[in-house]
Structure 1
Amino acid sequence: MRLKQETPDDWWEVEALFDLCFAPGRTALSSYRLRDNTEPLRALSTIARDAQNTLAGAIRFWPVKVGNHDALLLGPIAVHPTHQGEGLGAALIEDGLSSAKSAGWKRTLLVGDAPYYQKFGFEILPHVVMPPPTNPDRVLGAGAWTGVAGPVTPWPEKTGGQT
């Protein structure tokens, strides 16, 4: 399995993987409103290809604001059903968080299951508010969240952010 940066040429294949792995209507979720008119950060968005060069997994990161603070929104992340249970999801998350830290990003959030994401350093963010109807117990963050509170809003620029 090899990890590499997602390129624009991978877009349709990655979207097909997300469609396969998530319920129909995934783009209707409130987290997708935070991605409207914003591009994923290509330097942090990664794909995994197997020995046959088949797309096996993908992860994307998006810049957002939490109050007046910059943050990354992790997701979607997906692993093709034929490669689930191999640790590929964990590898994509660990690689992504490491790359984000190296790029100067201080905090990452996602909407997910705390028992799974805790092993990557994510905790419930009680003072961070995702657009409704997000369950607040599923709003998780890793990194420097002390003193950061407020609503999660879209990044103000189309091309993505810095720190």
Structure 2
Amino acid sequence: MSDTATLTPLVNEAFTAPNGPLIATGEIQVDTGTGTLETKPRASLCRCGASAKKPFCDGTHRTSGWADAGESVPAENIAELTATGPVVFVPLPNGPLLANGPLVLQNAQKQIINKTTQTALCRCGASANKPYCDGSHAAIGFQG
């Protein structure tokens, strides 16, 4: 007799920690700029723009004075995700963090604010539309 348990695909989720990083869990892949993808079940990704280990958080938000409560409002119409598989985070040079793949975005209260397969997230800390990029990185001269 064989045990043929059906595996439930992982749901990729990311939430904005209050005054802290974007915490992503699931089937996470991060482009570290070295030509390879780092695969992990959990990643803390910088939102303040000050980490010395971008795109990862190194805790600098605690001493830099950066603050964002992570209280994004849910989108009006949130479609169901039918795609499965990994979400790949790609930091664009001096720009946003692209998320490509199925991802459930949550605010700090763990309310779903969006379900998407592609979005641009702020990693400079200056967007007025956090967690999304609004182009502020260009105005502040973000490097990373």
TM-score by length of 2: 0.27
Which protein is richer in helix relative to its size?
1
**CA radius of gyration, larger in:** 2
The TM-score, its normalising length taken from structure 1, stands at: 0.25
